[in-house]
Structure 1
Amino acid sequence: MSADFNPSDPFALFRQFWQQAAPPGAQPFLPPMSEEEIERKIAELRVVEGWLAMNMGMLTMQIKTLEVQKAALAAMKPKEN
């Protein structure tokens, strides 16, 4: 273990890792981007968002279809006395 280990600081290990991994002055999470790059990234993410929304719609429809089939099978099942 490191001599700087402090059990009351659970993020010390991550902080130490990021300080060693990134060169001084670098932003490890968000690299600097131009306005055009940001707009392009937003457009790409909107396409992914639309694709995911379409898949969620299809998944929801399939779940509802299976629920209807289950209810139909339950309705046709003979009653036990």
Structure 2
Amino acid sequence: MHPDFNPGDPFALFRQFWQAATPPGAQPFLPPMTEEDLDRKLAELKVVEDWLTMNLGMLHLQVRTLEMQKAARAALKPKE
């Protein structure tokens, strides 16, 4: 077992993995960003979020429309 192993810390394995995979002094995920870069990235992500929300709404609308068509066909179907 690794000497730093602590069974009470569920994230110890992940921390060890990232420490081994990342060279000393490097940041594994994001480079340092200026405030302008952060604002631009946030604006871009909000646009994507809005686009995805709109598409999700359109998908819900299409599902509901098809469900209503199915129910209408079932209601108008002659009884045998």
* Structure-1-length-normalised TM-score: 0.75
Question: Once the 2 structures are TM-superposed, how far is the Cα of residue 75 of structure 1 from its aligned partner?
Answer: 0.8
Aligned equivalent of 1:34? 34
One-letter amino acid matched to 1:14: F
Following superposition, the deviation at residue 7 of structure 1 comes to 7.7
The TM-score, its normalising length taken from structure 2, stands at 0.76
Aligned partners of 1:53 and 1:73: how far apart in 2?
Answer: 30
Number of equivalent positions: 78
Map 1:1-81; keep pairs closer than 5 Å.
3-4=1-2, 6=5, 8=7, 9-80=9-80
* Structure 2 counterpart SS, 1:78: coil
Structure 2: unaligned runs, 5 residues or longer = none
Displaced runs of 4+ in structure 1, greater than 4 A?
none
Deviation at 1:37, TM superposition (A): 0.4
Please tell me the residue identity of whatever aligns with 1:18.
W
Taking only aligned residues, the RMSD between alpha carbons, in angstroms, comes to 2.2
Sequence identity (%): 69
